[in-house]
Structure 1
């Protein structure tokens, strides 16, 4: 699907149609997976670890885009009730973030145990949330409290997700140290987040004006020269030709890339980021690898958000979208 620019391309019909063939091919591929040698699975596992990291990065970028779009949509209404709504949602998110962080101290810092690493993760999350608000409200920074509060809640969730993925025998995992596996609610929430991220990324792929849309798309923002017509008939013919060759609204190659990365992430989520587990195959998304993946995702989220606030201030001559 690389290079599909208009709907006259034969591959455009492959993208939108042929569902019976696609379903049959999908079932055959699933059956084929059971007959592949372990070497192939190991290679795919290695590739999936990198692909999952890219998908998590895409998730963060999508979240940042969503929060800024949400904030701009309410600010553009320029009505008092929407400003009150912005303040209420922002305050609610911050209350939720700090309340949740307080609960993490109770769940993952049990008394009588030295849980310095867990305390460090939780304190860092609270410091980041506080820092987001301070920087966003600084007079020299063109920020807003709503994105800061939403990112704070997301960071608190990532911290909880990381701590809850600690090994079940770890004494500092006070919430799950006696459990045999991840709760159904936690697993469903994680998978639901993944599915929603994939769907939203597909929607954003269709509405992007620069990165995701092909150059021929009307959404790409590329300038076009005015058509020169010698006669009215010539103009009508050209207009008819353009109507027949309508450009695609989003990049098909990026669309499939997102779904491929999401499938890699789902596989890593269900296998605990490794296919070589022993004695704990019933556990899903548990282990120190899962912990550090989520903690690193939280920190990357914080860095990207702070960069979105400080970059226009550090580089005033550049235009940021």
Structure 2
């Protein structure tokens, strides 16, 4: 009986060991093949950590005298939360910034940094990420407060990238459907355009209703925000249809108008929830804990998705991944090998001495060599340095998102609430409309210059 027990214990131990090795191998394989997913996981973990510490950092920071003594007197809960968020944001900013510097110049998959740094070395990278996040809590308050101003600038750049991506997406979508000369697609564009303008009007009506509630007193600020949004929609549409806009179209103008309406809604919702004119805020304050957690989780996921999308879209910014540079140039008689979907390698046919097409069969050894050569010449699918730079900027944006753009979190259970957030979103609204108008008018105002 004892022997059976011993054998069973040994088998269970072996099974557990094999399972651990299998899980370890699987996780390494996933991180090797899906590096962007792994970096997103680190970024999301940092956001959750910053969110938790923002509301519950006081017991931890109370044990760090070099931070508390700089707070002066009896620091408020808001001060503790802001310090915690800044330090987590700084740790991630340093990690992704260092990764961006390390990946500068990686164009081909044969570069050792692709294998060992971008897609490998996860134990070292996770240790480095932890180290940066811990060391940030040992920095003096003055240095962290200075980083707050860096975070403001980085957040502005992050929002500008989002605006450029939105404009590029809309124009590309419009051009792609128009160029196909398919009546069904043209009718679809017309329907989406009409739907977007209907959405602008409906959103304006809802904003007037919820953010100018009866008995709230003077809500002229909210009324002016909604009215300005409608004016921007009219101006953008008028510019798009003017004779000075060579590439103007109502479809992008309608989508820009709808996005500006969304920004107006987002700005109004970000008003302090004790503000009498914020009718939605009062309802959110009374919401259940699960509703609050779900709302905050959606807001954080939106930031992750925006960072991932922007970091992977290097074609828009043309950061060294052009066709000539990505594979070391394609000029002359020598063409790079290209693998088809079945993994076969093809070479450019050459004429024989008799002027006939050369159709000599490749031996198995030559084909294998050509496939290996093609793999070495394969370009990376996105700019690694730019990907990490976007996540570094997103780290600064998280610091501003959770602290009301440096004014401290106005309310414990919410993110992106406060007058600072309201101002930034309104500025983003104006910047979006202005960028689209400039994109249309710039070629007419400066005809001597070429615009892409």
Match of 1:11 among 99, 103, 113: 113
Match of 1:173 among 278, 281, 292: 278
In structure 2, what is the equivalent of residue 117 of structure 1?
221
Are residue 127 (structure 1) and residue 231 (structure 2) matched? yes
Are residue 267 (structure 1) and residue 399 (structure 2) matched? yes
Kindly indicate whether the alpha-carbon contact (under 8 Å) linking 2:108 and 2:326 is maintained by their aligned counterparts in 1: no
In structure 1, what is the equivalent of residue 385 of structure 2?
253
Kindly indicate whether the alpha-carbon contact (under 8 Å) linking 1:97 and 1:152 is maintained by their aligned counterparts in 2: yes
Kindly indicate whether the alpha-carbon contact (under 8 Å) linking 1:201 and 1:258 is maintained by their aligned counterparts in 2: yes
Are residue 193 (structure 1) and residue 302 (structure 2) matched? yes
Residue by residue over 1:202-256, the C-alpha shift from the partner in whole angstroms, topping out at 9 and shown as x without a partner, is: 2311x34x622346x5477998642589xx8xxx999986763444444322111
C-alpha separation in 1, matches of 2:105 and 2:327: 18
Are residue 316 (structure 1) and residue 447 (structure 2) matched? yes
Deviation at 1:15, TM superposition (A): 1.3
Deviates more, 1:115-124 or 1:55-64: 115-124
Q: For 1:175, what is the secondary structure of its paired residue?
A: helix
Match of 1:226 among 311, 332, 343: 332
In structure 1, what is the equivalent of residue 426 of structure 2?
295
C-alpha separation in 1, matches of 2:234 and 2:328: 40
For structure 1, the 5+ residue unaligned runs are none
Question: Any residues of structure 2 matched to 1:128-143 within 5 Å, and which?
Answer: 128-141=232-245, 142-143=247-248
C-alpha separation in 1, matches of 2:134 and 2:332: 54
**Aligned positions, number:** 312
Question: Any residues of structure 2 matched to 1:90-101 within 5 Å, and which?
Answer: 90-101=193-204
In structure 2, what is the equivalent of residue 46 of structure 1?
149
C-alpha separation in 2, matches of 1:170 and 1:194: 26
TM-score normalized by structure 1?
Answer: 0.84
Kindly indicate whether the alpha-carbon contact (under 8 Å) linking 1:93 and 1:153 is maintained by their aligned counterparts in 2: yes
Q: For 1:134, what is the secondary structure of its paired residue?
A: helix
Question: Any residues of structure 2 matched to 1:32-43 within 5 Å, and which?
Answer: 32-43=135-146
Match of 2:254 among 144, 149, 152: 149
For structure 2, the 5+ residue unaligned runs are 1-102, 336-349, 351-365
Deviation at 1:79, TM superposition (A): 0.7
C-alpha separation in 2, matches of 1:44 and 1:197: 23
Are residue 21 (structure 1) and residue 130 (structure 2) matched? no
C-alpha separation in 2, matches of 1:220 and 1:320: 23
C-alpha separation in 1, matches of 2:126 and 2:277: 46
Deviation at 1:257, TM superposition (A): 0.7
In structure 2, what is the equivalent of residue 212 of structure 1?
319
In structure 1, what is the equivalent of residue 33 of structure 2?
none
Deviation at 1:59, TM superposition (A): 0.5
Distance verdict in 2 for CA 1:223–1:168, change over 3 Å: same
Kindly indicate whether the alpha-carbon contact (under 8 Å) linking 2:244 and 2:441 is maintained by their aligned counterparts in 1: no
The structure with the larger Rg is: 2
Deviation at 1:98, TM superposition (A): 1.5
